[in-house]
Amino acid sequence: MFKKILDLFHRDNLLNQALKESYIMLDFDREMFVESIKSLRKQDNFELKIDVRKKDLMINEYEREVRKKVLTHLSISGTADITAGLVLTSIIIDIERIGDYTKNIVELALNHPSKLEGSIFEEELVKVEENLTNTFDQLIYAFKNSNVEIARKIMDNSSEITKKCDKWVFMLIKGEGTPQNPTDAICLALYIRYLKRVCSHLRNIATSIVNPFHRIG
């Protein structure tokens, strides 16, 4: 289904322009995500190579432009391309939300006095971070090439990550593995929660490649 929809986007029209802008948005998300993790988890001072807030504002602007182009195209072409327009509109909502959560991670880094350690979860937490970064790369490829097989793998993998994140948060609530410093404990719980939400929105995008419109998300 998504491949047929993608064929519509590849025509020279507003949908094609909107699709290309969604690619840019997803690339921005990946760049912001990598930099946000670095700022919180890999350095003792708040330093960013990119302006994450500015990137987030750019994503918001692209989201408005995509919606405008989709609506304008459908107004002109009628209902023939309505499914394609709805799918893309659904996708950019998830892309925009990922940008918000990466900005939240940066805000944690800004307000946390030093590099955040993962307590007893550190080793597995690093694996989750690496896994999510790789998921961005896989999703960008699958999205641009309508690769259902890769999208399905992302869906399966993301389910495991979200379960793991939930388990860690509940353990922290119960006092299991909680850092002695309350600030670290709060920051770690929020961070894990943000990772889960990023993962969930990546999964939602993957479902748009695999599922019919009514089963996206």
What pLDDT, on a 0 to 100 scale, did the predictor assign at position 5? 60
For residue 168, name the pLDDT band (cuts at 50, 70, 90).
very high
Tens of pLDDT, residues 17-70: 888 999 999 999 999 999 999 999 998 877 788 888 899 999 999 999 999 988
Interatomic CA distance for residues 32 and 49, integer angstroms? 10
Tens of pLDDT, residues 70-95: 888 888 877 667 888 888 899 999 99
* pTM reported for the whole predicted model: 0.90
Q: How far is CA 202 from the centre of its chain?
A: 5
Residue 97 reports pLDDT greater than 70: yes
Tens of pLDDT, residues 124-144: 999 999 999 999 999 999 999
SS3 per residue for the chain = CHHHHHHHHCCCCHHHHHHHHHHHHHHHHHHHHHHHHHHHHCCCCCCCCCCHHHHHHHHHHHHHHHHHHHHHHHHHHCCCCHHHHHHHHHHHHHHHHHHHHHHHHHHHHHHCCCCCCCHHHHHHHHHHHHHHHHHHHHHHHHHHHCCHHHHHHHHHHHHHHHHHHHHHHHHHHCCCCCCCCHHHHHHHHHHHHHHHHHHHHHHHHHHHHHCCHHHCC
For residue 178, name the pLDDT band (cuts at 50, 70, 90).
confident
